[in-house]
Amino acid sequence: MALGYKARRRLSLLILLVGLPLYVVAAVTVVNWLDRPPILVELGVYIVLGIVWALPFKFVFKGVGQADPDQADKD
């Protein structure tokens, strides 16, 4: 089942406004469990977690910044 353009835009907005702040809290919690590791390890964990969150949602964000393809057909 493919998502339409408007559905992907709405889902991406929901992910960015609700999911991302929750993920940030989870990432900070994970780093706090590590009992204050060295700064380079902490930076590495934040970089990895910062990339990993977007991988499952790649299909949602792809093409969302472009013009609506359905609208171009109607013009």
63: left (phi over 0), alpha (psi -120 to 50) or beta: left
69, 66, 57, 67: which is closest to 12 by C-alpha?
Answer: 57
Q: Is the pLDDT of residue 73 over 60?
A: no
pLDDT tens per residue across span 13-62 = 999 999 999 999 988 888 888 887 889 988 898 899 889 888 888 888 88
Q: Is the pLDDT of residue 2 over 90?
A: no
Which pLDDT belongs to residue 57? 85
2: left (phi over 0), alpha (psi -120 to 50) or beta: beta
Please name the amino acid found at residue 39: I
Calpha distance 33→28 (Å, rounded): 9
Asked whether the whole model's pTM tops 0.85, one would answer no
Q: Report helix, strand or coil for 50.
A: helix
